[in-house]
Structure 1
Amino acid sequence: MFETRLCSMLGIKYPMIQGGMAWIADGNLAAAVSNAGGIGIIAAGTAPVDYVRAEIKKAKALTDKPFGVNIMLLSENAEDIAKLVCEEEIKVITTGAGNPGKYMDMWKANNIKVIPVVASTALAKRMERAGADAIIAEGCEAGGHIGELTTMALLPQVVDSVSIPVIGAGGIGDERGLAAAFMLGAEGVQVGTRFLVSDECTVHENYKEKIINAKDIDSVVTGRSTGHPVRVLRNQLSRKYQILEKENSDKEELEKMGIGALRKAAREGDVVNGSIMAGQIAGLVSKKQSCKEIIEEMFLGAKDIIKALSI
């Protein structure tokens, strides 16, 4: 039922990509997701090249399965990391925050599958023309940097606008969301927030507890006034940020508040003054599991749902 073009393209059992969560998606998590049958992703974010290289080496030591790297194209290290993935013979990369066109020929020459994250049909079409192998259509339910359209509205429109495989993302955290994405035309899904509480995720325990204890209304979007909206869980930092936005505070002052805030929460465990990026499905996440348990539970459950609908 779930043997889509994405599976054959990437050599995976389950058409699931793990979200590229900066300072969270490391070699340990990527290897665990790949070993469980999906595609694990190491997030480069704004990290230095040596950090990304070390995480790639770690993943290689933990799995013989394919895994990928997420490159944030606005990072000052993007060009060096774009070359690094070629040197390390990475099989797939996902991209965000920019246009990967300038690196496409180099990546293609190194047999790397390129899967950009998009928030509109216009960008999806542009990425297909640029040579993307697949597209991740991410709705605003997702954690971290987001667009405006919801997954339910965006996903089928992107599916209709391109001929390459489309992966649904944003608000997918259980078997129902997975089944819905496939009903909307997706050939795979990207999951981030659910993996935050996986046994193999090395994010700080305080961060995991915030996800586990989250309610449906606990995520908010900050940064709309700066043009860089980000979905996070409510805390002292987000409340202060929203107050300053209502007061039309200087954009530079607001952006300074975000510098290092995710790392503070994810690695140091400061969930009061740090940025707790998470999707709206955080309220659905109620238990810690292994990556294998998460993936199998979602796909087996979705299979049952779709079979029941086919009767």
Structure 2
Amino acid sequence: MNRKPLRMGKIEAKLPVIQGGMGVGISLGGLAGAVAKEGGIGIISAAQIGFREPDFDRNPREANLRAVKTEYDKARSLAPEGVIGFNIMVAMRGYEEYVRAAIDAGADLIISGAGLPTDLPRIAGESGAKLAPIVSTEKSAQVILKYWDKKYHRIPDLLVIEGPKAGGHLGFHLGEIEELQKKYDEEVTKILAVVKGYEDRYAQHIPTALAGGISDRAAADHAFSLGADAIQVATRFVTTEECDADIRYKEAYVNAKESDIVIVKSPVGMPGRAIRNAFIRRVEAGEQIPHSPCHGCLHKCDPSAIPYCITDALIHAAKGEIDEALLFCGADAWKADRIETVKEVIDSLL
């Protein structure tokens, strides 16, 4: 059992549990605030965070930036003393603006993946917000640590290691996911060896959090046994009372069977894990699904060439419009059998 606090400089979470960021609209201020209140680290997803704003269709960037502050304030009101951060994808258009908006709102921590956040230290400047890149392989850990060392003369405040059992977009090629699942412990050991080299160079500990497929006490204990300082958990928090998603989204997890969990290809070519539903079957059949005007979410998206709009599909999910939705999930989503509280989830993990 590990109930040691997670320390990042002067910022300390009482419990070594980070709630993973889930967009669109799954981990907003309600869930993040509830996790932070219990002593973990609550993470708000910045991905199309303003989808409920009245002007989202006309001015998505402005709506999103406004909602960054709104959702942070909501979380902070629930956990005045808790640790609250944002997950901001490098692949997002307007990435720098979202990072600065999160910092201006008061975020303690910025977790950043979906690409390597090479320029995150420059964007954050002297703000004091803690910076946490996400890596999935030894190679990506080497690249980001070396780059930050050479260009900014600094190391991450936290390193998140996200494995192939994670939900949503995955940091692996489609063909290597199944094989890596069998031997990911080896990759984690290699990543931690890279981290150790930079710890020695800076004479400073770099906390690490292991993510992907951590759904119960045994998986959490295993993560700690490998040397992780914390665990990052997302899927387990979907089926909580406090999760910001519609109840029908949560029930889709509860009703899912193991055979329903599949690897899909997103419109921008990245592999992801989701629940097979009516929407996925239409995509698998090659149907071109009409979509709304572009909301400018991801850099590499060409609206004229995509089979469906990922923003539309994820907003349908958050609103509980299940048959029209992309239901991103982790590998163990099928294990959920009831709606719990955030406290119950954390207690079951630790």
Q: TM-score scaled to structure 2, two decimals?
A: 0.78
Instruction: Give the direction of change, closer, same or farther, for the CA distance of 1:217–1:152 in structure 2 (3 Å limit).
Output: farther
Query: Which one of the candidate residues 274, 279, 286 is aligned to 2:330?
Result: 279
Provide the residue aligned with 2:339 in structure 1: 288
Query: Which one of the candidate residues 69, 90, 93 is aligned to 2:86?
Result: 69
Query: Which one of the candidate residues 119, 130, 144 is aligned to 2:168?
Result: 144
- Does 1:218 find its partner at 2:260? yes
- Does 1:27 find its partner at 2:29? yes
- Residue 11 (structure 1) shift: 0.8
Would the aligned equivalents of 1:21 and 1:192 in 2 still touch at CA under 8 Å?
yes
Any gaps of 5 or more consecutive residues in structure 2?
Answer: 50-63, 149-154, 197-205, 288-301
- Residue 24 (structure 1) shift: 0.7
Provide the residue aligned with 2:217 in structure 1: 175
Provide the residue aligned with 1:91 in structure 2: 108
Q: Secondary structure of 1:162's match?
A: helix
- Deviant stretches of 4+, over 6 Å: none
- Residue 160 (structure 1) shift: 2.3
Query: Which one of the candidate residues 32, 39, 51 is aligned to 2:41?
Result: 39
- Residue 86 (structure 1) shift: 2.4
Deviations 1:30-67 (A, max 9, x none): 01000111000010013311111110111122111121
Distance 1:252 1:170 in 2: 33
- Does 1:126 find its partner at 2:143? yes
The one-letter amino acid paired with 2:29 is G
- Does 1:208 find its partner at 2:244? no
Would the aligned equivalents of 1:139 and 1:154 in 2 still touch at CA under 8 Å?
no
Instruction: Give the direction of change, closer, same or farther, for the CA distance of 1:225–1:85 in structure 2 (3 Å limit).
Output: closer
Would the aligned equivalents of 1:49 and 1:77 in 2 still touch at CA under 8 Å?
no
* Most deviating of 2-11 and 187-196: 2-11
Distance 2:15 2:117 in 1: 26
Distance 2:305 2:282 in 1: 12
- Residue 161 (structure 1) shift: 2.1
- Residue 253 (structure 1) shift: 4.2
* Most deviating of 216-225 and 132-141: 216-225
Any gaps of 5 or more consecutive residues in structure 1?
Answer: 300-311
Would the aligned equivalents of 2:96 and 2:123 in 1 still touch at CA under 8 Å?
no
RMSD of aligned residue pairs (Cα, Å): 2.2
Distance 1:180 1:37 in 2: 21
- Residue 224 (structure 1) shift: 7.0
Provide the residue aligned with 1:304 in structure 2: none
Q: Secondary structure of 1:109's match?
A: coil
Q: Secondary structure of 1:40's match?
A: strand
* Most deviating of 150-159 and 78-87: 150-159
- Residue 293 (structure 1) shift: 1.5
- Residue 3 (structure 1) shift: 5.3
Provide the residue aligned with 2:349 in structure 1: 298
- Residue 189 (structure 1) shift: 0.7
